[in-house]
Every structure is written in structure tokens, then in C-alpha cells.
Amino acid sequence: MGKKLVDPNRLCMGCMEIMEHPQRPCPKCGFFRQKYRQPENSMPLYEIIDGRYIMGKVIGMGGFGITYIGWDIFQSKRVCIKEYFPHGVAERHTEEYASSQNYTYSVNVFTQNTEQAKHAYIGGLQSYIKEAENLSKFYLMPGIVSVRDFFYGNHTAYIVMEYIEGINLKQLAKACGGILAPGNLFQMLRDVMRALHAVHREGVIHRDISPENIMVNRKYQAKVIDFGAASSYQDVRNRSVLLKHGYAPLEQYDRNGNQGSWTDVYSLCATIYYLLSGVKVQRAKEREKEDLVKPLRGLGVAVTEEQDAILMKGLAIQIEGRCQTMAELYAGLYQEEMMGGASGETDTGRSGRMTVKGYPNVTSGQEEVAMNQANMASGSEEVARSQENMADSRGDAAKSRDDVVREYLKSQKEKQ
């Protein structure tokens, strides 16, 4: 039997929960439609794309796209929708009339009327669709965000993904006092490592693994998000230099660097190092001159000698001395061989109990309470924004999806 269709007028455009009183603020997320200020160049609430997706509020904006919460009319399901919209190249047209406060609004995306702008836009669009293709190969695989749909429309492109209700690992660590317990973190990362191993076997590398790009849902199941920087082994060379200091290995600082599965291994090990110690790994370029990174046991982190050794091997500056695959890292961390695909469940250990620092003795009945507390500590807007906007909030990362876009924006600044 199919799912019952939902009256769109009863949906909260902030969280897509069904409301008894749509004219009032949402009792779950606090969103109030009458007070919503539509961000510049974004689509209006209730706009329908591809005949099936209702656009909700903007949950992220950045240099290359706009992210919305959405609703799948056919499936009666909340989704996350990414729209390709490169800042400085694309725009939407709004025409106001002096005789009234009414205006007409075009959902179509336009580029500046120059050949260079059009070339930049198309180049970035192709890269955007490539991201969707990369992810669609791994639909429903535990440990990785699922792409449900992707299509062209309004002179641009859209990627529809599952909506993960939760927080990223950086937010979780912050809510738990700044660090995570090794046992808990390692268990959460099992599916992530299996998923990345599967991705690598298909010839795709993520290139931007960090605490912000691993989401955790209310069941403490972790998933890698934001494949906006992903590339195949074959075309990774001569691509733009895209990295996040403290998580990127040495080869990512060179556009012709030899990148592969070992690149993601380094980034994941740097992520683990930070989450367990609260200390960000020294920049790879600086480590090449003077390596100041200490083993975790030397920082008082309760990992085994074997786990410490494999993590330091994963953080080796030179590729030759590093773990080459996720399977090798997995075997070192868990002292067992990686089996097939991801399990689909988060193992909480023999006791069936997950003890998170700051939430002692968290049992299955209390996990949701702990996650709710973590959500509140992080702020509802920040939680929503983290879903698919991490590429747009990379801190000191170089924000470049495609060389042609970057070069166009640079040329425009020089003319000013």
C-alpha cells in the first residue's frame, strides 16, 4: 500500500514535520513562515521542482551551491536538496513594481552575459553532476550519504539526497566535552571505513574527509557526506588544489600530486586524531620541515599500542610509508580483516552500552536523550547547515570546485 499523501500547507518548511496549526511557529523547530526572510538568489518556499519535490527553507549557502530542506511528494519523505548556483557567476532575476509591493520572481538561473561566464558556469555544472554520479553508485550503502535523485531544471542542476537528522562528529565531540572515547569513535567509524573502501575500489576518492564531513544520526550511525571534492583516480591530476589544513596530506598541496586511497586514509587518521585528543594535526607542509605530531598515547589517549601505531602509520608524511588502503587501516584498528560491505548497524560493544564522555552509561534508552542534548548544544541552525554545506564552510580550505570558475572570479576582481 502506498504512502498517504500529505497536504503541503500543513508541512513546516523548516523541518518538514506535519503541523496541526500551520499559521503558528513550528513546535518542533520554531520555524515561523511569516517571519522567514528568503535569502538572496534562493528559491521561494513551496516551489515544486521536477514535479515531485517541495522546496523548504535554505539550510546552507556557499560559493558553489544552495542547500534546502525538501519534501518528496511521492514518497512523503523529508529530503535534502542541493542546487548548483556558483556565486559571482549565476543570478536569479527579480522584477519589482513601483505601484505595489508585489514582485515577480524567476526560479530560472542565469549567468552573466559573457562567454567567459557561460564557460565557467557549464564547467562547474559538469563537475556538479559528476558528484551526483559518484555518489549514486553507492545508494543505500551504510556509512555513506545516499543520493536519491539528480536532474536538470531551471537552467541548473539538482541533487536530492537523504536527510540525515543528527550532528557531525565535530559537534558531537564538542557536546561531549571536546573529545570522544576511543571505543565509541572506533565503533561508529566501522561502516565509514567499509564504505570508503568500497568507494576506493570503484576508483573514486573523497579528498575532503574531516570531522565536519561525517554525520552521526540518533542511533549513532556515522555517514560520510559532501563528495563535492571527489575525483576519480584517472582525472584527479591537474585538478584544482582543494584541501583542508590539518586533514590534507602532502600530495594534496600539489595539483599534480599522486592522490589515491592513501589520501583519504591520511585524512581519516587526522580526523580520528583530532576527535580523540582535541589536537589538530600539524599542517602537512609544515610537518615536511619539522614533524611535531606526537603519538596519541603520548598525549594520554587510551588507545592500544597497535591502534596508536596504525594511526601514526596512516599519518605518515610520505605516501610510501603510509597505510595504502582502508582495509589495512581497518585491520590495524580492529585487529580483524575487513569483511565485505558495511554492516548497517553500529556495534556498541559486548555490553550493548555506549558510554560517551559527558553522558556516562548511555544505554539504548538514553541515547536519543543524549543526542537531543548534543543537538541543542550545537544549535538547530548549525545542525541543519552541517548536512550538505560543509564544502561551503571549510574554514581555511581552498574553495574551488572547478578551475574555470575560480579563474573567472579572479579575473573579475582584477578588473575592479
Tell me the average pLDDT across 271-289.
96
183 Cβ contact partners less than 8 Å away, ≥ 6 residues apart: 349, 355
CA distance 70 to 77: 9
CA distance 283 to 389: 23
Beta strand 214-217 pairing with 222-224: antiparallel
- Looking at residue 227, what is its pLDDT? 72
Do 399 and 86 touch, CB atoms closer than 8 A? no
Do 385 and 375 touch, CB atoms closer than 8 A? no
Could you give the C-alpha distances from 326 to 98, 193, 207, 321, in angstroms and in order?
61, 6, 14, 15
| DSSP state letter for 256 | T
The model's pTM is: 0.72
Query: Cβ-count burial of 302 within 10 angstroms (0-12 exposed, 13-18 middle, 19+ buried)?
Result: exposed
* pLDDT tens digits for range 169-222: 999 999 999 999 999 999 999 999 999 999 998 888 888 899 999 999 988 999
- Looking at residue 231, what is its pLDDT? 57
Do 251 and 257 touch, CB atoms closer than 8 A? yes
* pLDDT tens digits for range 208-239: 899 999 999 988 999 998 776 555 555 544 45
Q: What angle do CA 165, 265, 143 make, to 5 degrees?
A: 25
Cell 503541503 belongs to residue: 8
- Looking at residue 354, what is its pLDDT? 40
- Looking at residue 410, what is its pLDDT? 58
Do 190 and 334 touch, CB atoms closer than 8 A? yes
Do 73 and 2 touch, CB atoms closer than 8 A? no
Confidence class for position 100, pLDDT limits 50, 70, 90: very low
* pLDDT tens digits for range 333-376: 999 999 754 443 333 333 333 434 333 333 333 344 344 444 43
All domains of the chain in start order, with CATH: 8-163 (3.30.200.20), 166-386 (1.10.510.10)
- Looking at residue 255, what is its pLDDT? 80
CA distance 289 to 265: 21
Beta-carbon count within 10 A of 104 CB: 9
**Mean of the per-residue pLDDT values of the chain:** 79
Confidence class for position 96, pLDDT limits 50, 70, 90: very low
Cell 548534543 belongs to residue: 374
- Looking at residue 389, what is its pLDDT? 41
